Amino acid sequence: MALGRSMSSTGAVALGLVLTLCLATSCFSKTEWIVGGWKGWTFGVHGWEKNKTFYPGDVLVFKYNPKMHNVVIVNKDEEFFCRAGAVGDDTYTSGYDKLELSSQGPMYAISSKPGDCEGGMKLEVHITTHR
């Protein structure tokens, strides 16, 4: 009788550990978002971010032709007016850039090549705090 009780409590403990592990990994998992989906970072990408939820630790992957485009992290006004160049703007030019989202709030990106931002190569991501 004692053996049966021991086996069932071992099973309950094992189930509890599995459930805890599942919850822990989903709470701390990172999502890699390919900006623009299958098209990548290109004209008309503006709006791709709508109805998506982004968290600190998630990664934005920018795939593009580096001879034609770039990625510049800008402020709200620069994104709205399609102007880059403020001191401190980070510029990426590899064609395959991974940017980890680090904090809550908005993040703005554009391509600063002539005509790109005006053609919809701009992004406004809102990062929430909790999964």
CATH topology of domain 31-127: Immunoglobulin-like (2.60.40)
What Cα–Cα distance (Å) separates residue 90 from each residue in 5, 47, 56, 97, 121?
A: 61, 22, 18, 12, 16
* Per-residue confidence (pLDDT) for residue 129, from 0 to 100: 85
Question: DSSP E strands: which ranges in the chain?
Answer: 32-34, 59-63, 71-74, 90-92, 96-100, 105-110, 122-127
| CB-based contacts of 44, cutoff 8 Å, min separation 6 | 119, 120
Output the pTM of the full model.
0.76
- Domain boundaries in the chain? 1-29, 31-127
Name the residue with tokens 């391509």. Answer: 111
* Per-residue confidence (pLDDT) for residue 24, from 0 to 100: 45
Taking only the tens place, the pLDDT of each residue in 64-118 is 999 999 999 999 999 999 998 776 689 999 999 999 998 889 999 999 999 999 9
Taking only the tens place, the pLDDT of each residue in 9-37 is 655 554 454 444 444 444 568 999 999 99
CB distance 59 to 35 below 8 Å: no
Q: Read out DSSP for 25-78? A: HHHH---EEETTGGG-S-TT-TTTTTT--B-TT-EEEEE--TTT--EEEE-HHH
